[in-house]
Amino acid sequence: MSASEIQDQKAIGREIFVQQADHANADVSASPLRAATICSSKSKRDYTLELTADESCEAADTSLLAVTRVDAANFMRVLRQFEMLAKRQSPRLAFKAKGSILLLDLADIMAVQAEGNYVSLQHRPNSYLVHESLSSMADKLKPYGFIRIHRSAVVNISAVEKIQPLPTGEYRLCVKGGKEYLVTRTYKHNLRDLAQLWIGSERLCD
């Protein structure tokens, strides 16, 4: 599951929580008996509640606090379940290294660079050499948000934090952790994939 899909799942969870709170508010407002019960419970805790002319309205607001606390607990539990599910379904890369098969989350790979007959996986905090061509890796990683920026480099678009145009017509990318990568003119059109929405920079990467 991608980072955007995780955010979508969280947003859905928040929307469910808001709808539950609204529904609880409507139920409490329509039930004076339930409201009175909440007020009685509040008095047992030695709180002072000054009743106004609209006694049921004041009580309903107090009741909503209790209902919201319960719903908030449910919401947090659901949100944790979403996060656990997303973590289990996060795309992973399996490769041989030192006689073992290592598994890495693709989100933690900043870039892939060519190293002779190998490629170097730029993973925080370590890097790994894999016997694979960069072209083959670029094809495999493209569906997961990686773009080719150089004949010897592929980057994770979610790791890019800044694009700096250069006088040569090339670009410099700054990724998380401070490392920089050069984007040659041959691959600059791929920079369009770095963002879904461009504002005030429509001519960039033309």
DSSP characters over 13-81: HHHHHHHHHHHHHHHHHT-HHHHHHHHHHHHHTT------SSHHHHHHHHHHHHHHHHHHHHHHHHHHH
Choosing from 89, 115, 145, the residue where a domain stops is 89
Q: How far apart are CA 122 and CA 175, in angstroms?
A: 11
- Nearest Cα neighbor of 118 from 139, 141, 104, 97 is 97
Residues 132 and 65 in one domain: no
- Nearest Cα neighbor of 176 from 123, 129, 137 is 123
Q: How far apart are CA 163 and CA 155, in angstroms?
A: 13
Residues 78 and 105 in one domain: no
pLDDT of residue 162: 92
Choosing from 24, 58, 89, the residue where a domain stops is 89
Q: Give the strand order in the sheet containing 146-150.
A: 127-130, 118-123, 109-115, 153-156, 146-150
Domain range holding 58?
Answer: 3-89
Residues 82 and 100 in one domain: no
Residues 180 and 105 in one domain: yes
Residues 68 and 36 in one domain: yes
Residues 45 and 128 in one domain: no
Residues 105 and 178 in one domain: yes
Q: What is the DSSP string of 137-184?
A: HHHHHGGGTEEEEETTEEEEGGGEEEEEE-TTS-EEEEETTS-EEEE-
Question: pLDDT 10s per residue in the chain (206 long)?
Answer: 555 555 566 666 666 655 655 555 555 444 444 444 333 444 444 444 344 444 444 444 555 555 555 577 777 777 776 666 555 566 888 888 778 898 888 889 999 999 988 999 998 778 899 999 999 999 999 999 999 999 999 999 999 999 999 999 999 999 988 889 999 999 999 998 988 888 877 666 66
Residues 67 and 146 in one domain: no
